[in-house]
Structure 1
Amino acid sequence: MQWTELLNANRRKPKKTNSVGTAKGRLQIERDFDRILFAAPTRRLADKTQVFPLDKNDSVRTRLTHSHEVANLARGIGVRLAFEMKEDIFGTNLPDVCVERDVPALLAAIGLVHDLGNPPFGHQGERAMGEWFRKEIPVCTSCPMDKIYNDFRQFDGNSQTFRLVTKLQILNDEFGLNLTYATLASMLKYPRTSFSSSKQWKKHGFFYSEEPVVKDIWEKTGLREGIRHPFTYLMEACDDIAYSVLDAEDTVKKGLASFHDLMDFLSCQNNASSDEIMRNVITKSKEDNKEYAKGELSPAELNDMSMQMFRVYAIAELVDAVVIAFKENKDNFLDINCQEKDLISISKGHALCEALKMFDRTRGYQHRSVLKLELEGSNYIKGLMDMLWVGIHGHKTKQQKKDEKLSSATTLPEYHSDTPFGRYVYGRISENYRRIFESPQNDLPVLYKEAQLLADAISGMTDSYLIALHDELKSLYEYEHSSK
């Protein structure tokens, strides 16, 4: 792979010869970060669960704060690569690339965008959607095209993110945010479809509906199925660092564990004394805690201050380990046959990162209060999907109605979508999503389009909006059915 192709700053949408320039001193890849930052779905991340659903504590992270933190870590790594290691990483023959500006901006952009398509209630929301689709669209072994419905049976927010930025966000064309090839290629965390034979990753990174877009991106950047952009490894590592360290901080902030619980947990790991990074972080954090304990602080304040310094030490060590690992393995990441699964596992920060993930799971994610809220969120999602499906499944588009009228064909069987409730709920779905669903140019199978409209609608909602819409529609749904 060549950096000149991997950092391709061209866009899929052809330039208009008479268009007014809006760059104003910004490079194309720098503009990608700005387009993502100002997009409405980015703002909606403020009301989407990171780990703890519907938390009332404003200090606990949402998807938006998490995304900004990942972008910050990624940008920092980009600055180090571009200024401290420029020739070692990128060589000297990149005439059309400003490494010092493009690299930090590109890494920040994919860090900011990486969770944009995640549904409400975090990973539990993904699981709930997948469970609903597996129930409503069961596997049909005799159907030749059945495999494409794995897009929904195995619903993944990464694929929805790619769809969002390439198709859904802009109303007046089919190019979405029209990001550069470099950004689109490097944000593909899992370069495979849901029905691919590739076994390197269990998750998928794009839907069947966006496969032509992906093939175009691979052609322009020198990539192919199963092969990641080198920067994808860095973005994933920043995501791992952010959620492993910062979810531990949130777990303590919520009172589910204490600073000393974390120190005891890390100290009990088999490699705690032999692993230099883990030992350094534990030692420095405990020393600061002892100093803070001499002051007149409440237990909560002592926990907070100690965790803040733990966060500083842990992130600094893990980021440095990732930069070193990337530099040492750069030739491998540039190999078109690269089979590395991730960057953290081959870095010296692996032990600390894995120990923190285990702490997060056992002390935070599996706490009964969190599990209760996740169950409630799952029920809300499945219930709303039931009701929206009434309006979506069997809905006849304007073109279908026109074709039936011209051909005098027998009308389709009556569907629930023809009822007052069905028409009402269909109208509550985003006009933009409905326009794409109804477009005459959308020649995907009808059931696939219907499932995709439902996935677009649910994943685009915030936690609180989904609950509010569920409660509103539930009363109307129950009233209509009770009156029959």
Structure 2
Amino acid sequence: MKWEQLLSLKRHGDISKRIRKEEDDTRLGFEVDYDRIIFSSAFRSLQDKTQVIPLSKTDFVHNRLTHSLEVSVVGRSLGRLVGKKIIEKYPYLSEIHGYQMNDFGAIVAAASLAHDIGNPPFGHSGEKAIGEYFKTGKGQHFKDKVTAKEWQDLIDFEGNANGFSVLTTSREGVEGSIRISYATLGAFMKYPKESLPKKPTTKICDKKYGFFQQDKAFFSDVAKELGLINNKSGNDIGFERHPLAYLVEAADDICYTIIDFEDGINLGLIQEEFALEYLIKLVKNGIDSKKYNSLTTKEDRISYLRALAIGSLIQDAVKIFIENEEDILKGEFPFALMDKSQYAAQMNDIIQISIKNVYQSREVIEKELVGYKVINTLLDKFCTAYNNKIEGNASNYDNLILKLLPERYQFQKEDVYNRILHICHFVSMLTDGKALQLYNTIESNKS
């Protein structure tokens, strides 16, 4: 892969090439990506979507929006630090093409900002709830009406693939959706493959999938423009990662490891003593003991250690990327950056504590159970009503249910797969609160 191709400014529908040297540096295309994402309704909805604790009203706890903003800040730092090294190594990128250090930061920041934009309500349990409605629930009867790959999209519903749809799927009057640059889309695509074959290799790029069957034509166009390396054969579609996707993933890994841990401490689910025991291993070379001991509140002490820990992990991720940059460009680095971190063991220890004390806490489990019931009910009611309407079998109840669909979802999809995915997309874009409100409306009005 070549950096000058990977940094493409092309957008959906462009008929002429965008040249970096011709860009207005006061409104750079990659920075426009960030702006378009942050002003989108899909991004705004993240303020009422679960990060760790579903439906929590606690001030301390991060939601998907605050998490995404923090990941974008870490991603920007990673991108700029890597960009500085890349420009120094390949000066022609600046001298001939006009690329600058901050371009890398802008791309990674924008992709990081969007990394959770396709996540359903109620956290990762929301993804599982959608998939299980089709795999083991009432949605099983659709199996014989779709292809194997379409069915896999449904039973293994994936927030990353849904995010690609959010960012790119056209609708009437809105071509290309948010229309962000192909470089940013490339950095966003952590898993540049379709849902089947599932986990064909142990490479990190094959861990999950990154696009639905409805989006494969545009996905392939983006991959071709960026010069991604094809790693599948026959009718299967898959590519090696865009190099900057490694940085987006690292930013997310750093933030959820440290900040979910911090949330657990602030909620009282993890004892403060664990912060010193576990975080000190990440910051022992940078901690100012006098400053730390002068902090009088738990929140300030944890914030100080968190900031130092994130700084240490950023520097380590940059070092790993630069050391392996040539292998990454050849598609021969099958790992997540933080898997190769000198702090990998410490990060894993922190994650295990978070799993035990936070992710598997009674509060989380109880609210995830509510989420399963809400999502299954909404999928069943809307899928049934939508299909009955298109097939001419709608009852009065079905018509009433469909009146609850927002205007942008009030159009017909002809084939069964696209109908079902249309409803899945609607449900996935609901906030936790709106999903619960819809559920209560439907259940309280059942005949």
2:281 pairs with 278, 281, 288, which one? 278
1:287: how far off? 6.6
1:260-409 alignment, distance < 5 Å: 260-264=273-277, 266=278, 278=281, 280-281=283-284, 284=287, 290-292=293-295, 297=296, 302-335=297-330, 337-396=331-390
1:158-197 alignment, distance < 5 Å: 158-167=160-169, 171-196=172-197
Counterpart check, 1:203 vs 2:208: yes
Moved more, 352-361 or 121-130: 352-361
Contact 1:74 1:108 in 2 (8 A): yes
Evaluate the alpha carbon distance shift between residue 350 and residue 27 of structure 1 in structure 2; reply closer, same or farther with a 3 A threshold: same
**1:121-150 alpha-carbon deviations (Å, 9 max, x no partner):** 110111111110213344999888233211
**1:174-222 alpha-carbon deviations (Å, 9 max, x no partner):** 3111111111122111111111363333311100000000110111111
1:263: how far off? 3.4
CA–CA distance in 1 between the matches of 2:142 and 2:122?
Answer: 30
Evaluate the alpha carbon distance shift between residue 329 and residue 202 of structure 1 in structure 2; reply closer, same or farther with a 3 A threshold: closer
Show the counterpart of 1:238.
251
Evaluate the alpha carbon distance shift between residue 104 and residue 171 of structure 1 in structure 2; reply closer, same or farther with a 3 A threshold: farther
**1:252-302 alpha-carbon deviations (Å, 9 max, x no partner):** 1111122103434x39xxxxxxxxx8264499387755443xxxx5xxxx3
Counterpart check, 1:259 vs 2:272: yes
SS of corresponding position for 1:393: helix
SS of corresponding position for 1:12: coil
Show the counterpart of 2:46.
45
Show the counterpart of 2:234.
none
Counterpart check, 1:461 vs 2:418: no
The percent of aligned pairs where both chains have the same amino acid is 30
CA–CA distance in 2 between the matches of 1:368 and 1:347?
Answer: 32
Counterpart check, 1:14 vs 2:14: yes
SS of corresponding position for 2:75: helix
Show the counterpart of 2:260.
247
CA–CA distance in 1 between the matches of 2:349 and 2:98?
Answer: 39
1:96: how far off? 2.8
1:228 pairs with 241, 258, 261, which one? 241
1:9-88 alignment, distance < 5 Å: 9-14=9-14, 25-83=26-84, 86-88=87-89
CA–CA distance in 1 between the matches of 2:86 and 2:302?
Answer: 32
Evaluate the alpha carbon distance shift between residue 246 and residue 256 of structure 1 in structure 2; reply closer, same or farther with a 3 A threshold: same
Aligned CA-pair RMSD: 2.6
Give the structure with higher Rg (CA): 1
Show the counterpart of 1:426.
402
SS of corresponding position for 1:394: helix
Residue identity matched to 2:423? L
1:376: how far off? 1.2
1:467: how far off? 0.3
Contact 2:192 2:241 in 1 (8 A): yes
1:458: how far off? 0.6
SS of corresponding position for 2:410: helix
Evaluate the alpha carbon distance shift between residue 450 and residue 356 of structure 1 in structure 2; reply closer, same or farther with a 3 A threshold: same
1:71: how far off? 0.3
Show the counterpart of 2:19.
none
CA–CA distance in 1 between the matches of 2:289 and 2:359?
Answer: 25
Count of residues in Structure 1 that have an aligned counterpart in Structure 2? 429
